[in-house]
A and B are shown apart, each in its own frame.
Chain A
Amino acid sequence: MTGRAVSIELLWDIPIPKALEQTQGWVLCAMQWHGRELVNMLWRILGNEQDVCDAYQDTFLKLAHHEHGCKPENVKAYVFRSASNIAISILRHKLVEKNNLPPRITAQHNMNSPAAELDTRYMTEALRAGIAELPEHLRDVVTLHDLGDLPYEQVAKILGITAATARVYRCKAVQLLAVWMRKETR
């Protein structure tokens, strides 16, 4: 009996936590290296601090459980793409919720007034809604380059395209956003 207790005690002494710490320590490293940029990007996409925290948590949870705890080949690319996708799905969910509200609550702006066009809140909301509606390949470039402050070269590396293609996608995205934002103001 005593021998069994000792053996269990010995089992506890095996440095399992240490080994796990070594294997998954890169999750904390990723948080340390990319956390600041990620929070900035998420804040710009979502505009709500609680949503930012939720998206950030989901991103690192996804990273920690990537293929049973294996480190992805390109951690930065994985983290940024996951965060962007999670944030966009939260944003879409919120937009759907907002559209389901009665029109009395949502129609706070007179869309035809010039003041509304220059209203910061209105413009940023219209932009967020537009970004959420963009096709995935264009949206990724806008979120990473404009909202994540990453240069075209890094965006291209993350998305697996050339920097020139990223520039073209950004240009197309801005054209689409311009058309949609104009439609919304009408």
Chain B
Amino acid sequence: MWAAKAKTCCRQLRDRVLRLLADGFTPDRHWIQNHIANCPRCQRRLARLGNVELAISMLKSQPHNLDLLMRANTQAIGVLKHCLRTTAKAERLRNIRPDLSIIERCSRYKHSFANVAACIAIAILMKSGAFSSAKMFESKGQKAVENYYASNAGEDIARDIFTTNA
């Protein structure tokens, strides 16, 4: 029982450490950076790792023909059972076009959306800020006028005027 608990704890700890390492937020981050800056062996190793990452990104960036999915579907459906080959879904798959998803289609408008959202947010903030400021200004102004009347015309008159107004 205790061993199982310890195992779970160790696994959780390992997961946390790995996550921290993956995020780059380690307590030894500066020490690691300084070491790499001064160690040619580590520099070479990092460069080699960088080469692999570069090759992976090159592999990912190579485009294929737009009709590849359509051709692959046609070839694959061609060897399936006859009842599957003749369905409407199979026909749709044979003629499938590389349509972009809604997110991809909307991605070109993302800057416009962001601008509009920012404008709306600013307008809301301005409106709420302006109204609260106006209210504050009104109450402070009223107090100032009341004080003026109280000092020049007397407190009774000022109270009469402002209590009747209120």
| Interface set of A (CB-CB < 8 Å, partner B) | 16-18, 20-21, 24-25, 27-29, 31-32, 35-36, 39-40, 42-44, 47, 49, 52-54, 56-57, 59-61, 64, 117, 120, 123-124, 126-128, 146-147, 149, 162, 164, 167-168, 174-175, 177-179, 181-182
Provide the bound-state CA to CA distance between A75 and B142, in Å. 74
A28-B89, A123-B54 are known; give 10 further A-B pairs, CB within 8 A. A25-B84, A39-B69, A56-B76, A57-B75, A57-B78, A123-B58, A126-B55, A164-B14, A178-B45, A178-B52
In-complex Cβ contact of B15 among A17, A36, A162, A181 (8 A): A162
Q: Does B36 make an interface contact (CB < 8 A)?
A: no
State the CA gap A40–B72 with chains docked (Å).
11
A179 to chain B, nearest CB (A): 7
Q: Please determine whether A36 and B62 come into contact, CB atoms closer than 8 angstroms.
A: no
Q: How far is the CB of B95 from chain A (nearest CB, A)?
A: 12
> B90, A28: Cβ atoms under 8 Å?
yes
CA distance A46 to B69 in the complex (A): 15
B48 interface residue per 8 A CB criterion: yes
Report yes or no: A53 in contact with B18, Cβ–Cβ below 8 A: no
B residues 41-60 touching A (CB-CB < 8 Å): 45, 48-49, 51-56, 58-60
B87 touches A21 (CB 8 A): yes
Q: Are the C-beta atoms of B55 and A123 separated by less than 8 Å? A: yes
Please tell me if the beta carbons of A36 and B55 are within 8 angstroms of each other in the complex. no
Residues of B within 8 A of A177 (CB): 52
Verify B69–A25 contact, CB threshold 8 A.
no
Sample of 26 A–B contacts (CB below 8 Å) = A17-B82, A17-B83, A18-B83, A20-B84, A24-B81, A27-B80, A28-B87, A28-B90, A35-B69, A35-B72, A35-B93, A39-B69, A44-B62, A49-B71, A52-B64, A57-B72, A57-B75, A61-B76, A64-B80, A64-B81, A117-B51, A146-B60, A164-B15, A167-B22, A174-B49, A175-B49
Q: Majority SS of interface residues in chain B?
A: helix
Q: Interface of B with A (CB < 8 Å)?
A: 11, 14-15, 18-19, 22, 45, 48-49, 51-56, 58-60, 62, 64-65, 68-69, 71-73, 75-84, 86-87, 89-90, 92-93, 96, 98
User: Given B54, B81, B93, which contacts A20 in the complex, CB threshold below 8 Å?
Assistant: B81
Query: Once the chains bind, are A61 and B81 in contact (CB under 8 Å)?
Result: no
Q: Is the CB of A181 within 8 A of B59?
A: no
Query: Could you say which of B48, B55, B68, B92 contacts A49, with CB atoms under 8 Å apart?
Result: B68
- Nearest CB in chain A to that of B79: its residue: A61
Q: Give every chain B residue within 8 A of A44 (Cβ-Cβ).
A: 59-60, 62
Known: A35-B73, A61-B76. A174 touches B93 (CB 8 A): no
- The answer, among B22, B55, B72, B86, for a CB contact under 8 Å with A53, is B72
A167 near B18: Cβ-Cβ < 8 Å: yes
